[in-house]
Structure 1
Amino acid sequence: MLGHSYPGCQTAATGLRTRLTAMASANHRSGTENRLRNPKILCLHGFRTSGRILQALIGKWPDTVLRDLDLDFLDGPFPATGKSDVERFFDPRITSEYRNFEECLDYIEDYMIKNGPFDGLLGFSQGAFLSAAIPGMQEKGTALTKVPKVKFLVIISGAKIPGLVFGQPKAAVGAFSSPVRCPSLHFIGERDFLKTEGEVLAKSFVEPVVIHHTSGHTIPKLETKAEETVVLSFFQRIRQILSDESCSARSLM
């Protein structure tokens, strides 16, 4: 399968879109839980992978987590072909120039308009770079101004744009100039070459939730009960926030 990129290569192409909706049946919930809707999340994959690959990896999470999420997996708009000049120094999954960055943002915004509204973003690797910068860009009015502001983030193996080596795209300038007040869940691998960058990124958010796992630059399977509990607690908080916002909106009608 041809891998895709978000701001990476020059030739634009419409990627395949895959969707996974994992919802609990009514008998899984009772009382207040039954009135809380599932958050709708747009998922952005890493460099030289695809929406289907990310879907397969996230699909290994426990059903107790997935059943309360509405996940939509999008392919990046640019096919990732050829070799990067810095692959001999850095993991090839992360090396990509930020050409076509604005076109990439327009592509994502258009998808969100047609298929949303989305509550939050989940990003892995390059997709995490992009996801992490979006709340700050929305706040400054430099990107995704035609869709509702992102309410939360799930960042897996992320870092601040420009990441390791490349210049910062104009739209992303100042995205982290002040603490990001967006609920965030960060996964940081102890053997990930981006561990330090991921920790710096997490500190850019107000009260981030951070899970340190024992693997490298990958998506953890949430194999420990402790990890599963933290993730469940985070999404329960998000569902409550969405419920409170919905109630406030109805009261103003």
Structure 2
Amino acid sequence: MATSQSEKKMKILCLHGFRTSGSFLQKQISKWDPSIFSQFDLDFPDGKYPAGGKSEIEGIFPPPYFEWFQFDNDFTAYTHLEECISYLCEYITTRGPFDGFLGFSQGATLSALLLGYQAQGKTPSKVKSVHFIGAKDWLKEPSEDLATAFDSPLIIRHPQGHTVPRLDEAATQQLRAWATEIFSYNSRILNGENHESEKGEDKVDDEEEAKPEEVPNKIDVTQVQQDGIGIEVNREVEAVNA
């Protein structure tokens, strides 16, 4: 569905994987049909820290490479995670508002954590979601577990591993329909709010912006988890844990 000039695109914060970059994530999803993202304005920042070691995409995609935080071999201890969350909260406050997230691998982990920080301890059952799960992905089991936390999730399976997969026509149609549904729902909500404002009910002046500390209290999200790739598109629903 093409976005008309009268409809505002939904703004999505896109978080790349470990020791890659925002530009690389942009290249990764470029293999998908562009119509899937026609309703969205995508923002691709680089990670907070320069890569502290060899990147798996060296020789495939040019540097520089970045990482959001660090971890041990068992994924039981993390370094600079709190600093990264604070950095992203500030980024969202200053560059937003954002309607949702898209993340791959480490970026998807951060997307889920950001939802948790904003959710105030609630469960994610109210969040509409779509999950991409690879048959050969080493994170297949946690991806399956994550999907069970959502109410009636759409799961798109593919035969590949820990990667952003190429989508066949059936998967493309499913994802395009999902994106269109989310965008249409958001547009109806916005039109309803505008209608209320026209009647003078709950009208807020343009100059009265939310204070930074108030921004995380509500988030409208749709989560997509794909072997560590996640797209989270805001909806007018209460924030939930991921």
**Smaller-chain TM-score bracket:** 0.5 to 0.7
Deviation of 1:69 after TM superposition, in Å, equals 2.3
**Match of 2:33?**
62
1:205 aligns with 2:176: no
Deviation of 1:98 after TM superposition, in Å, equals 2.3
Q: 2:163 aligned to 198, 212, 218, which one?
A: 218
Q: 1:187 aligned to 132, 147, 153, which one?
A: 132
- TM-score, normalised relative to structure 2: 0.67
The answer to whether the 8 A contact 2:133-2:144 is kept is yes
Uncovered stretches (5+) of structure 2, i.e. residues with no partner: 55-70, 198-242
2:82 partner letter = E
**Match of 1:128?**
108
**% identical equivalent positions:** 42
Deviation of 1:35 after TM superposition, in Å, equals 5.2
Deviation of 1:71 after TM superposition, in Å, equals 0.9
Deviation of 1:65 after TM superposition, in Å, equals 1.6
**Match of 1:41?**
12
Deviations for 1:118-150, whole angstroms, at most 9, x for unmatched residues? Answer: 11101111111121232232121xxxxxxxxxx
1:102 aligns with 2:76: no
The answer to whether the 8 A contact 1:187-1:210 is kept is yes
Q: Distance in 1 between matches of 2:26 and 2:109?
A: 18
Relative contact order: is structure 1 or structure 2 higher (C-alpha 8 Å, sep ≥ 6)? 2
Q: Distance in 1 between matches of 2:8 and 2:154?
A: 21
Residue 151 of structure 2 aligns to a residue in which SS? coil
Q: Distance in 1 between matches of 2:48 and 2:72?
A: 21
Residue 78 of structure 2 aligns to a residue in which SS? coil
**Match of 1:111?**
91
Q: Distance in 2 between matches of 1:78 and 1:38?
A: 30
**Shift in CA distance, 48/179, structure 1 to aligned 2, threshold 3 Å:** same
Deviation of 1:242 after TM superposition, in Å, equals 1.2
* 1:1-253 pair list within 5 angstroms: 28=2, 36-82=7-53, 86=73, 97-140=77-120, 178-222=123-167, 224-253=168-197
1:77 partner letter = K
Deviation of 1:64 after TM superposition, in Å, equals 2.1
Residue 43 of structure 1 aligns to a residue in which SS? strand
Residue 9 of structure 2 aligns to a residue in which SS? coil
Deviation of 1:85 after TM superposition, in Å, equals 5.1
Residue 79 of structure 2 aligns to a residue in which SS? coil
The answer to whether the 8 A contact 2:72-2:78 is kept is no
Q: Distance in 2 between matches of 1:35 and 1:195?
A: 41
Residue 193 of structure 1 aligns to a residue in which SS? coil
Root mean square deviation of aligned Cα: 2.4
Uncovered stretches (5+) of structure 1, i.e. residues with no partner: 1-23, 141-173
